[in-house]
Structure formats: C-alpha cells, structure tokens
C-alpha cells in the first residue's frame, strides 16, 4: 500500500477512548503510519498494549521514555497531522495554556502541522465558560475543533458531548490531509458559519405537503468542508435524509417559516451565512386539520397559496454582524448567468452560486457545476466535479470577501 502521511493520534482520558481504537484502525488500514500518544489517564480506559498492537509502534505517555530519541520534539516534527480524540476538558485546557507537562502536550507544542481536536465529555463539562474559552483560543490559533455530537453519553445521560463516530472523524482527518500544506491555513478558524440545506415542505394537511427535490447534499458538503477548514458550523437542515456531518451543530426544520427562525437565530453571531436550501416560495394559505378527502362526483378544491418570506433577502438586508457575508444559491433552467445576475441584485447578497438544474443535473447527484457571481462584478466558473470541490470554492470566495 502506498505510504500515506504520518499521523499522531493523541488520546485523552475519557470513556470515548475506546472509539479512538477504531479511528486508529482506519488510519493504519488506509496506509498511514500512526504514532499513538495517550495521556496517562487515557490508559485507565484503554491500555498501552492495545495502542501499541494496533499502531505497530511504541507507546509512551511521558517525555522520560526513549529520551535519546528526543521524542517530545521528534514526534511532533515528523507529523503531517495531529488528531486528538477524545480531547477531554483537561487536554483542551493544557493545550490552550501551552503546557508541556506530558508527551502529548509537548507534541502539540512542537507540531507544525494541522491539529484536529475532537472534544468529548459530559454536557455539564463542555458548556461552562472555561472549556468554551479554551476551544475559542485553539480555534483562533488555527486548530480544527470538531463540535461534539449530541446523543447518549456515559450512563443514563444524553446531551451534547459525544465523540463523533470514528468514520466521520476519519473523514475529517482525510479532508484536512487532502488539503495538504493549505490545511495549515485553516482560514475559517475562529469563524462561525451558518448553512441551510435541503428543501422545505409546506403542509397541505397532516399527510401531504408541497415540496421540492433538493437532497441537501450540496449544503452538507459545505458543512463538512467548513469543519475541515476550522469553522464553527451551524447546519440548518430541512427534510434531509443524510447523516449529521461530524463537527457541525445540526438544527432540523420542516417548513420555510421554521427554517427562517433557525437561520436568523444562528445568523445573529455568524461571519457568513450560506443559503443552499431550496426554500418554497409559496405555502398553502390554509393547512387542513384532517386529511383532505376526495368526494365522488366533485372536483377538488383549488389550493390557494400565499408567499413565504424570502429568507435570503431578509438576511442580506439585516446584517447583524459587521462584515457578515451572505451567499445565495440559484437554481436556473435557462439563461443561467443573466438570471443569476438579476437575482443577485434583487436579493442583495454578496455572492450567488448559480447552477443549472433539470434533466438529472444537480438535484440528488454527487456532482455539481456552477458559476459563483460576486456583487462586486467578479465571476468564478467551477467546472463539473464533486460537490465538495464546489463547496471549497464557495468558502474561498467567502474568505476573499471578509474584511481584513
Ligand atoms: N430563498 C430564500 N427564501 C425563499 C426562497 C428562496 O431564502 N423564500 C433563497 C434560497 O435559499 C436560495 C436563493 O434564495 O439561496 C434563490 O432561490 P430561488 O428559489 O432560486 O430564487 P427565487 O427568488 O425563487 O427566484 P425564481 O422565482 O426566479 O426562481
């Protein structure tokens, strides 16, 4: 197998350490040489023998082992990526404080490569100001901090604090490594970005709705790439059937009205808002309380529609944060560029990603092709390719538009 870049897997002392074994397997099976650096407390959960057997390398927690090899400097120097999973409140605090009191923190100080923290802890330990400020500090310095997932915690508790699935963490590592030297430039670090994805459904009665064919894949690609570039991500997902992207806060909504509420709330402290969702322009004027029945010999009642609020136009006018960038998407079936320019002006956003839809293009597919139009006049054509490639070009354009 082709040798892949070297990875350091730091493991903090939390129960989720057992999931790091699976992450380690995925990394080694895809050809990476992995050096595991657990903290002393991590070894209470998973022993050194396991880490050593799975990585095929020696395992130490302190700087006093193999001193002649100067491991506290070498391990970090040689790494192409350091990923810490789980990152406990204690590891976050020591990393943010620049401590060098065990091998892992020494590695963090000497590494010149991208660093990904995947915090996991009880909600009560995650929420207080101290860990939150440590996370903000690490993000500001360019580290990728993956938001914990929501769900079952140790014991009977549930809440935010779960380590995302190893497969999802592996994907984040792969994406960061794929960016190569650019990964160090975690240009979304310290930024909060909001993305809407999917398609809204406007109920006619308890079982029927007016909807559209948006799968949410482009919005999810935007969320995944933003996480890998270091952003704090809020994903407002309308009726998608996709697994939550690791590291994003996901808010699920149904109707345009619900989407509006969730997006405006998250936008209050956002540096960028990307409206990739297909929002229904109209909704039924009335929603029947019971299922609408057909009646023999009678024509159906026409469905009266009313306008939904235009969330993109509202966001573009509001701008609660100075320098906030608002991005729209436009799905057009003809005169793509001319319609796009007119829509950009009408909505008042900074950037509009215009793609052609219909006949199997864009909706539900893995690939996309678009032109990113700038209010200032510029245009970037993004050739046919994966939705993640388009997502990266959108973030490039957003970064260019942020005031320096
Ligand atoms: N959008 C929105 N609120 C709406 C409708 C659309 O925020 N009620 C946003 C979409 O998320 C997308 C952009 O506006 O970013 C473009 O939506 P589109 O439906 O293509 O534009 P319309 O204004 O509906 O134009 P047209 O009727 O010409 O298709």
Average pLDDT for 145-152 = 91
- pLDDT tens profile 262-298: 999 999 999 999 999 999 999 999 999 999 999 899 9
User: Residue 278 has what pLDDT?
Assistant: 96
For range 145-165, the mean pLDDT:
89
* Residue 66 pLDDT: 77
Q: What is the pLDDT of residue 178?
A: 86
Q: What pLDDT was estimated at residue 362?
A: 54
Confidence (pLDDT) at 163:
96
Domain boundaries of the chain, sorted by first residue: 4-184, 192-286+299-401
Name which residue leads in pLDDT, 403 or 265.
265
Which of 31-45, 253-267, 326-340 shows the lowest per-residue confidence on average (mean pLDDT)?
326-340
Three state DSSP letters for the chain: CCCEEEEEEEECCCCCHHHHHHHHHHHHHCCEEEEEEECCCHHHHCCHHHHHHHHCCCCCCCCCCCHHHCHHHHHHHHCCEEEEEEECHHHHHHHHHCCCCCHHHHHHHHCCCCEEEEECCCHHHHCCHHHHHHHHHHHHCCCEECECEEEECCCCCEEEEECCCHHHHHHHHHHHHHCHHHHHCCCCCCCEEEEEEEECCEECCCCCEECCCCCCHHHHHHHHHHHHCCCEEEEEEECCCCCCCCEEEEEEECCHHHHHHHHHHHHCCCCEEEECCECCCEEECCCCCCCCCCCCCCCCCCCCEEECCCHHHHHHHHCCCCCCEEEEEEEECCCHHHHHHHHHHHHCCCEEEEEECECCECCCCCEEEEEEEECCCCEEEEEEEEHHHHHHHHHHHHHHHCCC
Distance 279 CA to ligand 1 centre (A): 6
Give distance in angstroms: CA of 307 to centre of ligand 1. Answer: 12
Q: Which residues line ligand 1 (CB under 6 A)?
A: 256, 275, 277, 279, 281, 308, 310-312, 328-331, 343
User: Mean pLDDT across the chain, nearest whole number?
Assistant: 93
Centre of ligand 1 to C-alpha 163, Å, is 36
Give pLDDT tens digits for 162-180.
999 999 999 999 989 988 7
Q: What is the architecture, at CATH level 2, of domain 4-184?
A: 3-Layer(aba) Sandwich (3.40)
Q: Closest residue (by CA) to atom 5 of ligand 1?
A: 279
Query: Is 212 labeled as catalytic in the residue annotation?
Result: yes
Residue 241 has pLDDT above 90, yes or no: yes
pLDDT for 182-201, tens place per residue?
777 778 988 999 999 999 99
- The residue whose CA has the least distance to atom 18 of ligand 1 is 330
% of the chain with per-residue pLDDT over 90: 79
Domain 192-286+299-401 of CATH type 1.10.287.3610: no
For the CA of 331, the closest atom of ligand 1 is 20
192-286+299-401 and 4-184 share a CATH fold: yes
Evaluate if residue 251 carries a pLDDT over 90: yes
Q: Residue 357 pLDDT more than 80?
A: no
Q: Looking at 106, 134, 212, 339, which residue is catalytic?
A: 212
> Given ligand 1 and candidates 222, 255, 279, which is best to mutate, with the most ligand atoms within 8 Å of its CB?
279
Ligand 1 nearest-atom number relative to CA 311: 7
Mean per-residue pLDDT for 351-367?
75
- pLDDT at res. 364: 62
């Amino acid at each position: 197998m082709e040798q892949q870049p070297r990875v350091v897997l730091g493991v903090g002392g939390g129960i989720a350490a057992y999931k790091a074994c699976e992450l380690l397997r995925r990394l080694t099976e895809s050809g990476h040489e992995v050096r595991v650096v657990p903290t002393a407390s991590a070894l209470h959960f998973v022993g050194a023998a396991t880490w050593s057997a799975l990585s095929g390398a020696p395992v130490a927690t302190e700087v006093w082992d193999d001193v002649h090899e100067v491991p506290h400097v070498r391990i970090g120097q040689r790494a192409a990526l350091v990923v810490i999973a789980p990152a406990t409140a204690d590891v976050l605090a020591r990393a943010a404080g620049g401590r060098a009191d065990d091998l892992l923190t020494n590695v963090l100080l000497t590494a010149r490569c991208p660093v990904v923290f995947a915090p996991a802890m009880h909600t009560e330990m995650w929420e207080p100001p101290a860990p939150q400020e440590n996370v903000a500090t690490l993000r500001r310095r360019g580290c990728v901090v993956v938001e914990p997932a929501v769900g079952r915690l140790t014991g009977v508790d549930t809440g935010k604090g779960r380590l995302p699935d190893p497969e999802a963490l592996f994907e984040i590592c792969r994406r960061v490594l794929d960016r190569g030297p650019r990964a160090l430039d975690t240009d979304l670090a310290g930024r909060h970005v909001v993305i809407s994805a999917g398609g809204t459904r406007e109920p006619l009665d308890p079982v029927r709705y007016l909807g559209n064919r948006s799968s949410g894949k482009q919005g999810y690609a935007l969320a995944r790439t933003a996480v890998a570039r270091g952003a704090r991500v809020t994903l407002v997902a309308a009726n998608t059937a996709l697994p939550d992207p690791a590291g994003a806060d996901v808010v699920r909504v149904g109707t345009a009205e619900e989407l509006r509420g969730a997006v405006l709330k998250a936008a209050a402290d956002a540096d960028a808002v990307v409206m990739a969702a297909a929002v229904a322009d109209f909704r039924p004027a009335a929603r029947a309380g019971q299922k609408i029945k057909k009646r023999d010999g009678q024509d159906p009642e026409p469905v009266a529609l009313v306008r939904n609020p235009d969330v993109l136009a509202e966001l573009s006018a509001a701008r609660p944060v100075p320098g906030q960038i608002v991005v729209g998407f436009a799905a057009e079936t003809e005169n793509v560029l001319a319609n796009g320019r007119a829509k950009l002006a009408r909505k008042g956003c900074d950037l509009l990603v215009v793609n052609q839809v219909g006949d199997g293009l864009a909706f539900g597919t893995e690939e996309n092709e678009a032109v990113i139009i700038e209010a200032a006049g510029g245009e970037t054509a993004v050739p046919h390719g994966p939705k993640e490639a388009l997502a990266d070009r959108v973030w490039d354009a957003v970064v260019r538009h942020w005031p320096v």
